[in-house]
Amino acid sequence: MGKVGEENAGDARTRLVVALREAGAGDVSALRRVYGLTSAKLFGICLRISGDREAAEDILQDVYVKIWRRAATFDAARASPVSWLATIAHNAAIDWRRAQPRRDTAPEGALGTVADDAPQADEVMVQDEERLRLLACLNGLERQQAEAIRSTFLGGLTYQQLADHLQTPLGTIKSWIRRGMLKLKVCLGDG
């Protein structure tokens, strides 16, 4: 990416950090700016994991109420603002999936969308080195391990759901993921 793009990403990140800080001080219009900068990305995460547009909108609503309440605790020195927000959305969507076992089946498109997951240039969401490092480490795993980690995390699948989908024994799936996660931790340099 060129220098101009980097500056844009940096500007967007700065705007987001400022908006979060002001939201944390109780400014609703600042939360509106956070929403404007991030709602499409967070909605994508909720939609991907819930597989249901209406549910995803309910989850997203809860996510921004959580963000409002937690904004004051965000520490820009410890986390990228987008990663922090995306994690809140991911957790909320997973909580929703696990809370309804009957509807908790693999949503359409939860799997086999690896092509969609290719990094995309995105003004706000460019996460620079962190993401490149994680993707490089995933690429260094055995293909099955990397795909199991990717598809469970991004698709909101349980061990059992991935095992069913791949028609592979549960024990094998667990072993791929556990070994993959161990290697990932070492590769990321904090194992």
Of 91-130, binders to another protein (CB under 8 A) are: 91, 94-95, 98-99, 101, 104, 116-120, 122, 125-127, 130
| Residue from 15, 21, 32, 165 in contact with another protein (CB under 8 A) | 32
Residues 6+ apart with CB under 8 A from 108: 51
Q: CB under 8 A: which stretch of 2-10, 11-19, 89-97 binds another protein?
A: 89-97
Letters for 39-78 (x = contact with another protein by CB under 8 A, - = none) are xxx-xxx-xx-------xx--xxx-xxx-xxxxxx-----
CB atoms within 10 A of CB 61: 12
Binding mask 167-186 for another protein (x = CB under 8 A): ----------xx--xx-xx-
Name the residue nearer to another protein (CB basis): 1 or 188. Answer: 188
Using alpha carbons, select from 117, 132, 147 the residue that is nearest to residue 187. Answer: 132
Beta-carbon neighbour count of residue 86 at 10 Å?
A: 19
């799997």: which residue's tokens?
111
Taking CB under 8 A as the criterion, the residue among 14, 87, 105, 172 binding another protein is 87
Q: How far apart are alpha carbons 144 and 151 in whole angstroms? A: 10
Please answer whether residues 138 and 184 qualify as being in contact, where contact means their C-beta atoms are separated by less than 8 angstroms: yes
The site for another protein, by CB under 8 A, has a size of: 79
Please compute Rg for the chain using Cα positions: 18
Give 15 or 41: the residue with its C-beta nearer to another protein: 41
Q: Nearer Cβ to another protein, position 18 or 27?
A: 27
CA 46 to CA 59: how far, in whole Å?
Answer: 7
- CA atoms of 70 and 95, how far apart (whole Å): 18
Identity of the residue, 107 or 156, whose beta carbon is nearer to another protein in the bound complex: 156
CB of 7 to another protein, least distance (A): 19
